Every structure is written in structure tokens, then in C-alpha cells.
Structure 1
Amino acid sequence: MKHKILLTAALIAVASVSTSSAQHNHAGHNHAMPGQTATAQMTRPVAGPHGGSLKQAGAVQLETVVSQGGIQMFVFDRSGQPLSVDRGRGAASLRVEGNAKRYRYDLLPDGKGGLTAPVNLSQIAGRQIEIEIQLVGINAAGGQPLTLNEVATVPASELQLAAAAIARQKICPVSGKPLGSMGDPVAVDVNGQRVFVCCGGCVSAVKSDPAKYAAGRPQITVATSTAADAAAIAAQKVCPVMDEPLGGMGTPIKVTIGDKPIYLCCKGCIKKIQAEPAKYLAMVYGDQKGSAGARSDGAPASNPNITVTAATQADAAMIAQQKVCPVMDEPLGSMGDPIKVMVGDKPIFLCCKGCIKRIKADPAKYLAMVYGAGSTGSVPAGTEQVREGIFKVSAEDAPFIAAQKKCPVMDEPLDAMGGPYKVHAAGKAIYICCPGCAKKIAAEPQKWLAVLAQQGVSAPLIR
């Protein structure tokens, strides 16, 4: 899922690492040991009778079936007749795309004509896996072991496919409400494609005008507010994008998402609504706690010294380098002379005065956006240890986590394995995806700091 999925701890607990496979993995070719029959790679995938992939291995054909319930192997002669595997057995060594580790599972007769390794693969649905398979005890192979290399994708269930589609669509195209806010979303068939709506009451609208709702997004219209909108403007009070009083920057702009109006302080805010309509609908109509600029943990932001001035000709080079306002993502100069905000000794240039309060509310966030992870200096060492030398992160770590993005050891998203966690490396903080990565950083801290530096990430100091 927004990140890569790894096998669960329970799944890993029943598997053992296949060291022999790791030591004998030659890219681009396969070869057999003496007395071992390797599979010949077919030029095109061939579907087997059980829906798996069929490949030739000497005098037999092997079909590999991968499902969420595990791995199955079926054996056939050259004419396609099934062969008995009651005396056979084998092993499957599995590696998930993006993960260097291998997991080994035994293949045993299942009494249904196949060799099966029952293992829950549902949590890696949709992910590509590489499988190395070895089989013994197959009579038709003349007593010789059989080997097979296979690449497959674990199929997703209907529920998983629906959940992924709902996550992509996010909001009801009829009402504009977040999907799930009115109970389980309802699927509607539109010209062979599924569109989700928030409730049964929206189904008839989609069916009556399928072309209008086929994209799965609500219709968004933009207009200047009129006197008829005065009561709604008074009730909303502030622009959800800029947190500015409506009317403070001219006549409010009216953006209608489905049947829900949102009022904005200026035209510069329109594209934010168009990009994330569900977010701003929730801010105006509910399901959004706190105000824009409040910290997620409810604590007030700890602000360095902040001063505001107009930019001058001496700032031209820095303005040209920064290019856009970090708050509005608008070109600097597009809304008048840029505003210069000094956060400590670091200048940030803004498109208009309306953006100043966002910088004051969360300076660390915008410093990280403009200067990268190392701009705000330092983070606390941490007091709550997961294991010795491995700390839970705090709100102050958030901008550095956002800048680092991936674990330097595993190259995985920092939240892929229960993280992020924080470790100390030569007086600096490195964020990792799981506790297992800590010992590598402890052994060679400068190596991993250099890896981050090559990625353009400057690790914060530990204070």
C-alpha cells in the first residue's frame, strides 16, 4: 500500500532461511548439479490445467500454482497426463520482490494429486515473488531430482481488490463524502467498471447518468460567491486551505464538490481542493479534528525565532533557486512581491501574506520542504527504547522521517515493518524500518550516513 508489504512475523516463524539458495543464485541462467534435471525455460508462459504456469523439466512437465493459501506443484508426462506424486516431496524457497530474504517451505503430498506448501500469502497479495523449487521422489524423472525457477504474483482476493479501489477513489462521486463515512461503500457497475458510492441513496444517481460518474470522482465546479451564499460563508468563516477569514482577500470563491460547496479566500486555493477534495470536505463538513497547522499530537509547535519582511533585490538569487511557495506550491512572484520569512537564520520565501501563519504554526515542516532533512538542526535522543539503542520516534522526528523516506539498510519504506525507529549513528539520528537493521548501523555508522548523503538526506544531530 501510498508502501511495500513484507511477510508477517507469524509467516516467518514457520519458515527457515534457505542458505543454499542464497549461495547459489546466478543471475540470468540456471544450471543443475550432477544427476539433477533443470527446467527448460519456455519462450512464452503456458497455462496448466489448474490455472498455474506449466514448464518442461526433462521427461515431465511441472505446473506451479500460487494462491493466497500457499504453493502447489502438479506433475504431468509429455502428453499432459497427470503423474502420481504420492511418494514425492520437495522444498520451495521464496523471495518477495524488494526483499533480499528467502523463506523455505516444505512441499508434501496433499492427497489431491499435488505437492502443497500451505502458507498464508494473503499479506503479500499483488506482490511479485521468485520461487526456487526442488522436487525428489518423482518416479517418471528416473529418480533424479527436479529443479524449477518460477516468477509469479500472489493473486489478490475480491475483498482486497475492492479495498484498493476504494482507497484510490476515496470519495463518493455523487455526494462528495468520504467513502466509508456512511457505512460500507456500495459498488455500482458503470460500463463494466466498478464505481463506489457512499450509500445506497447515491446508486440511482450513478445509474441515471453513468457518463457523468464513470470517472469515480465528483464533479467540481468553480464560481464567484454571491449574496445568496452569505449565510454559508458566515457559517464556514475561514478558508480551509489558508485558514484565512473569508472575505479578507476579496470576494470568496465558491467551489462545489458534488453537491457540497466550499468557500475559499482566493483563486490560488482552487487547485488544492481539486487535488484533495476529500481532505477539504472533511475539514469543512466534519471528520477532521484539530485546525490546519495544529500538530498531530495536539501539542503546540515549538517555534524558533521568526521574522517577516518583504523580499528585496538582494534575495533574487535565492528566490530563483526556491522557485515556488512551500505552502501554496505557487510560483514565487505570481501573487505579487514574495514575502521573506526568517526562521532562525534560514529564509523561506512565500507567495503572499496569507501563507505566513502556516510557517509560524509548523516551521520545521516547511524548513524540511525547502532545505531538506538537516535544516532544523537536531532531534531529541529519545527516552522510550524498543530494544537497547533503538528508540521510538516523536513528533519532532516527523519532518526528518518524511525527508529520509526509506530505511538505508533494507531500502524499504520506513513504516513497512512496524517502524520507523530511531538509532544513533556518530552523534546523528538515522531512521530504520525494523529493529533488525540497528546492528548494521551500529557496526558501521559512517557507512550508512554516507548512504543517506548520497541520497541527498542530511541526518539530524542528536541533542
Structure 2
Amino acid sequence: MRVLNYLVLACGLAIAVPVFAQHDHTTHGSGHKMAAQQPPVAPPAPAVANDQGPHGGRLADVGAMQIETVIAPSGIRLFAYNEQKNPLDLRDVRGVATLQVQGDAKRYRYDLFAETRSDGSAEALAVAVDLSPIAGRQIELAVQLAGLSGPQGQPVRFQTTAVAPRTEAQQVAAAIAEQKVCPVSGQPLGSMGRPIPVQVGDRTVYVCCAGCIDAVKDNPSQYVIGKPMLKVAPATDADAAAIAAQKLCPVMDEPLGSMGTPLKVTGLPRDVYLCCKGCLKFLEKEPQKYLAKLPAAPGTAKPEITKATAADAPFVAAQKLCPVMDEPLDAMGGPYRTVVEGRVVYLCCPGCAKKLHADPQGYLQKLAQQGVEPPRVR
């Protein structure tokens, strides 16, 4: 309820809006008669919007017209079209929209006014109202228009339902919340600052830090996973070595084999073994999360990287910058430490470890040119 109160306040509109007149027969004297052979005609049922219109809204057929409703985070707009699908001039049209959030009994009414162009015509009726507080919730909208004639000369009436749209920022936040973890480092998104979007084709994947960007771009098939088409079968003797290497079910963190024969799941960038069928739905929903928990595949061992401790403080102060990103060592949740060529090198994030280990001599030489001599492992 607090959200909806804010919605009304945010729009800054008057609540007292014009209501179309209803005829009251009780105020007439007894001399007023209605012909017995002509029962009162009920007003037509309001049209229901279904098809999509040229502005991306939903279309409702109202007599010979079509009305398009566009619901955006910033408000509501209406367009009208004649039988030939040409837009109508709405300069003399006014309306009332009644909005109700599904599950809430309260209704909110808003005036719809013409958006007048420089020549005096109006293509749309609109109201500016902040719908972002109810983003993602189902809403029902009933609209009544004066100045357009519907069936039987009645005011135009129609209804539509929609999910209140998210703002761009809300869409990004929802995508990050759904992805949860960085596909490269396996770290929670947000643990090293604001997640970074990486565009791969028509997909966007978020990584925890700048050090993980190139890994996604260099090997998108490994890190950008659409909805997987998984195949599941009981593991066989041929899978014994892979099961021994994986050891644990990534979903339950239980030893493989503790709940019977492990299941082998194929269809992802690498095969995954699960302890039971109950874990499959979790793997299907968040494949990146559970792939990141697996030990390195044979021949692709992940470099060991840990968070620096107080004992590393003098060496961190001496090195200052990450040799991969040239960023301060604490810029992305670090410093982190790893060992190459028997030397301890400090990094700003786990995503930089792969590059460092791919070219250790190059980065050690870079540090030497900066006057930094990484400490030897003791």
C-alpha cells in the first residue's frame, strides 16, 4: 500500500476527475413512462486489448476503431486508429484511466489529456505517472474516453492488463540478480564493485571485474550459456576417473555416490556429475553458478589465488599496482595473491590470474621495469 500511495503522489495528478454522467430516473415524476415493448439496452461490454500496435502497445477493437495503450515506467499513452488503420486526431478527446494492481483492492484514477503538437493536432492522450515502484507487478487498466463515439454512441470503454515495465536500471539489476555469479571467477557479482556488462552477440553477460572481460570475449561458448538442453544418464564405469576428479556434487556439496549412482549431465561446456535427480533443476536454472564450483578440468588447472593477509602488507605497499590491469591493488576487492615462477605477485582481482599465468615472464618483467621485485615463496 505504501508503494501505491507513493505512485499517486509521484504523478502529481488530481484525484477528483470527471465522471461521465449517469441518468437517474428516480428524480422524474410518475408521468415518465418507458415503452413496455422496448426494454432498456445494456451498454456494450468494454473491449479487451490483445494485439500489439505500431507503438508497441496493446490494441483494443472498439467498434470500427482500434485503441492502442502503451504503458511505460514514466506513464501511460493512448493512440486511436480508424478502420483504415490511420491515426486519429485526439485534440478534442479526454479520458480517465483507472489502474489497479493485482491483489490490491484500491483503484487509482488518472486524467488523460491530449499531447498537442505544434499544428494543434494530437496523436496521443497521456498521463505522466511514475510506475517504477510497481515494476514487475500485474496491473489492470480500465479506460473511458469522451469525445470519441463507441458502439451505440456510448463513450469509448476498454480494458487491458499488463506487467508494469521496469526501467533500464531495474532491468540491469534484475539480470544481475538472476545471473548471481561471475562466470569466470565464480565470485558473487557485486563483490568486487559494480558488475561489468560484456556483450557477446545478442547476449549480455556480467563479470565481477575488468580482469574477466577478455576471458568472456576470447571464449564466449564457455562463459555465455543460453537455456541449456541437458541430457541426463546414470554414470558408467567409463566415468569413474571424472567422478573421482570432481568428488562433490556442485549443488549439494555431498560426495558423489553418497546417494546412489551419480548422474552424468551433458549439454553444458563440460560434463557435470550430480548426486541425484533432485539437483538437476538447480543446475538447469543456474548453470554458471554450479560450473564455477567445479574443480578445474584436466589440463586446465585454475591458478591458485587467495586474498592477501596482514603479512603481505609490506609487499602490497611496494607493488602498489596490479600488473595486469594497472589498477590499485584494492580497486576491485583485492589485493589477491598468487604464485608464478616461485614469486608472489599481487593482483586486483581473481580474473587477472589467468592472464598472469599465461605470460608470467612478461608480467614479471613489467614489474621489474617498475622497480618491483616480487618476494620469493618461502
- TM-score (norm. length: structure 2): 0.48
Q: Please identify the structure whose Cα radius of gyration is greater.
A: 2
- TM-score (norm. length: structure 1): 0.40
Higher relative contact order (CA 8 A, sep 6+): 2
